[in-house]
Structure 1
Amino acid sequence: MHAHSDSSHSHHNHDSHHNHHDHSKHHDHTEHHRMMIRDFRQRFWVSLLLTLPVLLLSPMVQGLLGFQFQFPFSDWVLFALGAAVYFYGGWPFLTGLKNELQNKAPGMMTLIGVAITVAFAYSAATVLGMEGKTFFWELVTLIDIMLLGHWIEMRSVINASKSLQTLVAMLPTKARKLGQDSTTEDVPIDELKPGDQVRVQPGEKIPVDGEVVEGKSSVNEAMVTGESKPTTKETGQKVIGGTLNGNGSLTVAVQQVGEQAYLNKVIQMVHQAQEKKSKAQNLADRIAFWLTIIALTTGFATLVAWVSLGQTLVFALERMASVMVITCPHALGLAVPLVVANSISMSARNGLLIRNRTAFEDTRRITTIAFDKTGTLTRGTFGVTQCQSVTDEWSDDELLKLAAAAEARSEHPIAVALVEEAHHQEMTLPEAKDFSSSPGEGVKAQIEGKKVQVVGPGYLQAHRIRWPQPDQQNTSENKHATETRVFVLIDDRPAGRIAMDDEIREDAFAAVKALKAMGIRVCMMTGDNEEVARKVSETLQLDAYYAGLLPDQKLEKIHEFQQQGEFVAMTGDGINDAPALAAADVGIAVGSGTDVAAETADIILIDSNPLSVVGLIGFGQSTHQKMIQNFVWATGYNVVAIPLAAGVLYQQGILISPALGAILMSLSTVIVAINAQLLTFPKEKQSQAN
């Protein structure tokens, strides 16, 4: 669609052109999907309206309802209405029939196409003077039900992914390029070349991959590395495009732009992993394929058999049409979509968004589940776990109050945690004057005439400050021993320590236990350091953990598991998890995370509760059971009905007319639909775990 117009302005440099192109391709796909849904909906309602007069004019229906309604040329009116529904309502199936035959893959569309064509041709022939009964009403209701089934099915498949757009949106488009006389000008990223220098102000996204040549700042790389603490960047250190600059300004020498940039490579990885995934075909199509083959062969064999047995052509055609109509994999066509539509809406009410049906149906096959740590098993935010004064001058509360007041103007996660804790305890913070903060050093401020400093362990070492060991040394190993400590100095004398922690979620314990009870291996992958990872892993009693991983290493780990024959689910919330989420057999994004994670995952958990993963797997199992029940019913019914429709028991006086065939078919569809409604969300899993 847009591809053509793209090439007309290809004097853009290649990179921007490439991104733009991908973008529009994606956009087209989603738009195309929406148009098809609208198309089916419209065809369904129009066909349904035309069906009412067809039913009134049909002798069979009149016979059932016990009234007569005939007028000159009523046959021709019936024919006209039937033809309208056949061509307008049946159009998607007729084109589908053509495509399937061209691709040598006859399936549902072929069967529907052939059945409606046989029904139409036969009915048309009777109107034109051939001996026999018309079955226009079966034809039109057949088309109505098929349109409805396809419309429901397409609506239940969530629209194609917007992940690449989301990722592209994270890349800044402009950069502040440094000129000769240290003036800056805003230029599009595409125009930068390796070696150029760009200036990044506090709070801005870093536009390119490069190396810091001047300045010092803390950079939040959580979206790329998953590391919960911002990392300090100074001269000589590498930065990644798309990450968020903190409180200092940096000058960066450009190294990679466009296709070569790290985030762009992540985009490519996601794209490839998704391409692979979309080829997963549904079992229903395979069964429908075989049913089609069986129906077509049986149908034509029936025709030939009866004619050669000396029956009239009308009788033989009727048998053939009955076989086609009855085998029409209606119930089968709805067996899956109805369960899916029901399970998708039910999931949404329970906080699960399903984006890839195949993956959702496959949750029952999971043998290994890998959790990202930050934001998934842990909260991803620092919380104050302990505040301990080391002198008698200050109480623990006063210590927290002064520390929070000093940090009140800093944006650092540690500062945020201190201030939040103070607010939580409803403290009024005194005014801080002469506030200054420097990465790695900490903050200092004048509060109520005292000089208050909040510093890290590095500062104590650098200034050779001896820290008094408090007598009541807290020896009990902290349950969540992933903590960060800061130290408070008042007038340059040690006053106390405050411990903060990226806390393990309460629900993580129950979730790990429940997953292990299902026989699933639970491991953790994190960009965080070895020590933190080990402690979280021991606390939660995980089967394994892998620390210090970059996104591509997470991806490799997933592949490694898959090569060992594991069926892998990945749960995460950051851009750093996106490639792994896309490559895993089932990718589960946890809600509070970035859009990108959500867009590359198969399933999104709106809350970040690890327990939801347990509910999800349980629900995947019950959804699958419902589908199997529907399959068995839909195919089992065919096994019995096809021979009867073909006239196997004709001597015994048992014969299924096309009309009865259509009724039976509709009935089987109704049974399948009712069964789909009986699906329930596993509540007991949640309550057991709590």
Structure 2
Amino acid sequence: MTHDRDHESHAAPDSHTAHGGHAGLGDHVAQFRKLFWVNLIIAIPVVVFSTMFAILLGYQVPDVPGARWIAPLLGTMMYIVGGRPFLTGALSEIRSRKPGMMLLIGLAITVAFIASWGASLGLLHHELEFWWELALLIVIMLLGHWVEMRSLAQTTSALDSLAALLPDEAEKVDGDSTVMVAPADLRVGDVVVVRPGGSVPADGRIVDGRADIDESMVTGESRPVARAVGDAVTAGTVATDSGLRVEVTATGDDTALAGIQRLVSDAQNSSSRAQRLADRAAGWLFWFALITAAATALAWSIAGSPDASVVRAITVLVIACPHALGLAIPLVVSIATERAARGGVLIKDRLALEGMRTVDAVLFDKTGTLTKGEPTVTAIQTVADADEDTVLALAAAAESDSEHPLARAIVRAAEERSLTVPQASGFSSSPAVGVSATVAGRQIQVGGPRLLEQVGAQEIGAAAAWRDDGAIILHLVRDDEVLGGLRLADEIRPESRDAVDALHMLGVEVVMITGDAHSVARAVGDELGIDRVFAGVRPEDKAATVAALQQEGKKAAMVGDGVNDAPALAQADVGIAIGAGTDVAMASAGVILASSDPRSVLSVIQLSQATYRKMKQNLWWGAGYNLVSVPLAAGVLAPLGFVLPMSVGAILMSLSTVVVALNAQLLRRLDLSPEASTRAVLG
């Protein structure tokens, strides 16, 4: 079987973790959004009709029927409805014996709820009426969690994208005809027809035909690989130029594609669930508040003031409400995510963003990441009196009717040189030879070694050196006379050198991992000054290579763009997908680069460092308020005649929240362009 694109000879011979008790993705975004708006509306009358809030601000509670019960009843509704996610999370943290943010929030709103009812019913001191504090805490915490969930929500599924590689239907041979069946209905031994440009529906062995197979999504090989009768083909790969008949040797879970799916799933599920910085701070603050409250009650009781001991102890627990702490991380993440998106960096996983600052090894996939992922004419050598422009123009003329990637590369090279390409006629192609056409009454042929064998000619002098570099070599023959040779290779991106140099300046080891041949990988690695090169690596080995580096103690980031990179992206401490790549790679990564510029990795590092600084600063502001105000509220300075009034505590509480919010806004000043980030490192 042949097709006008047959070019056989063109191939070279050689979740976010559960935040306490809630899951945090998908429907949780809508859940927290709805809860926030509902509770915000309810909170307004709760605050307005709160007696203590009116005393603090010096106004009279509105005189309406039943005014004294408005705050208690609506506050109870907020506690049950708005507080439910936090109470559920608090119970989960108690069961796991890992107190954190949820337990601290749950404790604060529960203490405020019980104390407020006690004050409203006249059972406790009126200063313990905290309905306004309960309402504001719930609203602010719901806002913080909504912002956080939205920044972490994932919109694509890696496994769904992997499954999409398979065709919807397979053309199964049934006697002298064919029938369309679902790939899932195929059985071992069935024979299927794969049309030019079609995907292989199951792993199999070619029984008829030959074609260039695009295996880049599975092996990472940058150029189509020639496959003929007897050769194995993999589900999801594409016959680029000719039709094939394939006998099925594996289906379903036994296919290589299913194996990749399992690798992605396993790597994602086994990813470390690092304890969040805010949760650790909240855990410490929980014990700090609880111990301080107990000590306060004991100290005031011993001092002979049992009534004051209750007031002071409960005040301590409520003042420990983490208003600012609850916004410290989500607000920074939200602004950082938004700023990153404007800079061409999409953050899908907050843990990946936090972890990028400590990465000490970056693994780059070669094809489509460090290189452009498409063949390019990189050199021309002429024979006799021919010049480079003539050779290129004649080759482009002969290739102009072909859609093969190498043909397009030759035509594109002629266009870039603004050459006049003569008209060609009588175009034909052969998968065993190359292409042929008539130009100006003379036969022009372009092909590889078999073309030279056919015309009895020798290859050009530079061919051996080009072959050692892993390049694709084509010869131009006019009337059986060789006029020159073309060197085609996957062109290195001009930005790749700066990216590698800048990473070295930061003390980061640069590793290249590719499914390409050793000669190709070595040439690229040498040119870019890459520290370590792993070539001929299959998908399962890519994930294993990342794991091996991690076992060396490396904090590894993986940068890739293909399905073959998905397991490694999921295995890495930080997975970075090139946005021009596949949905699978993007779904498996924590960070997505909208452009294909490898220097954007520097942007991610810069953003990670800046974000971490803001997180620490905000945590100190948020927790610092508690570290100062809680002891004062406990009465540590009472012997000197000073006890922190609730009104002052409320002001400090609000001020710490404002400071946290303003500090997070400073992230918007970051210039995350690849040029700026690289310049900041290289100078």
TM over 0.5: yes
Give the SS at the match of 2:107. Answer: helix
Instruction: Tell me whether 1:67 sits opposite 2:67 in the alignment.
Output: no
Indicate the residue corresponding to 2:30 in structure 1.
Answer: 38
Indicate the residue corresponding to 2:670 in structure 1.
Answer: 681
Q: Which runs of 5+ in 1 are unaligned?
A: 1-29
What's the offset of the Cα at 1:239? Answer: 0.5
TM-score, normalisation: structure 2: 0.90
Give the SS at the match of 2:72. Answer: helix
| Letter paired with 1:108 | M
| Letter paired with 1:413 | P
Indicate the residue corresponding to 1:488 in structure 2.
Answer: 476
Indicate the residue corresponding to 1:150 in structure 2.
Answer: 145
Query: For residues 192 and 59 of structure 1, what CA distance do their matches in structure 2 show?
Result: 73
1:457 to 444, 449, 453: 449
Contact 2:46 2:132 survives alignment (8 Å): yes
Contact 1:319 1:657 survives alignment (8 Å): no
Indicate the residue corresponding to 1:6 in structure 2.
Answer: none
1:115 to 108, 130, 138: 108
Indicate the residue corresponding to 2:159 in structure 1.
Answer: 164
Distance 1:278 1:520, change over 3 A: closer
2:365 to 345, 355, 372: 372
Query: For residues 356 and 66 of structure 1, what CA distance do their matches in structure 2 show?
Result: 46
Indicate the residue corresponding to 1:598 in structure 2.
Answer: 586
Distance 1:468 1:668, change over 3 A: closer
What's the offset of the Cα at 1:388? Answer: 4.3
Give the SS at the match of 1:170. Answer: coil
Contact 1:318 1:657 survives alignment (8 Å): no
What's the offset of the Cα at 1:234? Answer: 0.3
Distance 1:231 1:92, change over 3 A: same
Indicate the residue corresponding to 1:574 in structure 2.
Answer: 562
2:394 to 402, 408, 411: 402
Indicate the residue corresponding to 2:638 in structure 1.
Answer: 650
Give the SS at the match of 1:622. Answer: helix
Indicate the residue corresponding to 1:56 in structure 2.
Answer: 48
Contact 1:367 1:566 survives alignment (8 Å): yes
Aligned length: 653
Contact 2:47 2:71 survives alignment (8 Å): no
What's the offset of the Cα at 1:685? Answer: 3.0
Indicate the residue corresponding to 1:241 in structure 2.
Answer: 235
Contact 2:460 2:484 survives alignment (8 Å): no
Q: Deviations over 1:473-529 (max 9, x none)?
A: 899x99x96532211112222122222221111111111111111111112111111
| Letter paired with 1:184 | T
Distance 1:556 1:77, change over 3 A: closer
Which stretch shows the higher mean deviation, 113-122 or 649-658?
649-658
Distance 1:489 1:148, change over 3 A: same
1:196 to 184, 190, 193: 190
Give the SS at the match of 1:222. Answer: coil
Contact 2:499 2:678 survives alignment (8 Å): no
Query: For residues 655 and 674 of structure 1, what CA distance do their matches in structure 2 show?
Result: 29
| Letter paired with 2:276 | N
Q: Which runs of 5+ in 2 are unaligned?
A: 1-21
Distance 1:496 1:599, change over 3 A: same
Contact 2:156 2:583 survives alignment (8 Å): no
What's the offset of the Cα at 1:296? Answer: 2.5
Instruction: Tell me whether 1:535 sits opposite 2:523 in the alignment.
Output: yes
Give the SS at the match of 2:507. Answer: coil
1:286 to 255, 272, 280: 280
Give the SS at the match of 1:527. Answer: coil
Q: Deviations over 1:95-142 (max 9, x none)?
A: 333333344433222222222122122221222222522222122112
Q: Deviations over 1:561-620 (max 9, x none)?
A: 111111111111111111111111111111222221111112111111111112211221
Give the SS at the match of 2:537. Answer: coil
Contact 1:158 1:354 survives alignment (8 Å): no
Contact 2:191 2:248 survives alignment (8 Å): yes
Report 1:386-535 matches (<5 A). 386-392=379-385, 395-427=387-419, 429-461=421-453, 463-467=455-459, 483-535=471-523
| Letter paired with 1:235 | V
| Letter paired with 1:210 | G
TM-score, normalisation: structure 1: 0.89
1:384 to 369, 377, 382: 377
Indicate the residue corresponding to 1:333 in structure 2.
Answer: 326
What's the offset of the Cα at 1:669? Answer: 2.1
Indicate the residue corresponding to 1:318 in structure 2.
Answer: 311
What's the offset of the Cα at 1:454? Answer: 0.5
Give the SS at the match of 1:277. Answer: coil
Contact 2:463 2:473 survives alignment (8 Å): no
| Letter paired with 1:433 | S
Give the SS at the match of 2:476. Answer: strand
Q: Deviations over 1:341-363 (max 9, x none)?
A: 11111111111111221122111
What's the offset of the Cα at 1:287? Answer: 2.3
Q: Deviations over 1:398-441 (max 9, x none)?
A: 43233222212322211010122233344564443332222341
1:93 to 70, 77, 86: 86
| Letter paired with 1:404 | A
Which stretch shows the higher mean deviation, 430-439 or 484-493?
430-439
1:348 to 341, 359, 371: 341
Query: For residues 573 and 561 of structure 2, what CA distance do their matches in structure 1 show?
Result: 17
Higher RCO (CA < 8 A, seq sep 6+): 2
Query: For residues 24 and 151 of structure 2, what CA distance do their matches in structure 1 show?
Result: 15
Task: Compute the RMSD of aligned alpha carbons.
Answer: 2.5
Query: For residues 229 and 130 of structure 1, what CA distance do their matches in structure 2 show?
Result: 80
Distance 1:35 1:530, change over 3 A: closer
What's the offset of the Cα at 1:174? Answer: 2.2
Distance 1:164 1:468, change over 3 A: closer
Contact 2:293 2:314 survives alignment (8 Å): yes
Q: Deviations over 1:159-187 (max 9, x none)?
A: 265111111111224211112x3311111
Give the SS at the match of 1:678. Answer: helix
| Letter paired with 2:551 | Q
Give the SS at the match of 1:337. Answer: helix
Instruction: Tell me whether 1:669 sits opposite 2:661 in the alignment.
Output: no
Indicate the residue corresponding to 1:77 in structure 2.
Answer: 70
Which stretch shows the higher mean deviation, 65-74 or 628-637?
65-74
What's the offset of the Cα at 1:66? Answer: 4.0
Indicate the residue corresponding to 1:18 in structure 2.
Answer: none
Give the SS at the match of 1:223. Answer: coil
Query: For residues 32 and 678 of structure 1, what CA distance do their matches in structure 2 show?
Result: 27
Distance 1:317 1:43, change over 3 A: farther
Indicate the residue corresponding to 2:629 in structure 1.
Answer: 641
Query: For residues 39 and 423 of structure 1, what CA distance do their matches in structure 2 show?
Result: 55
| Letter paired with 1:121 | I
Query: For residues 447 and 130 of structure 1, what CA distance do their matches in structure 2 show?
Result: 103
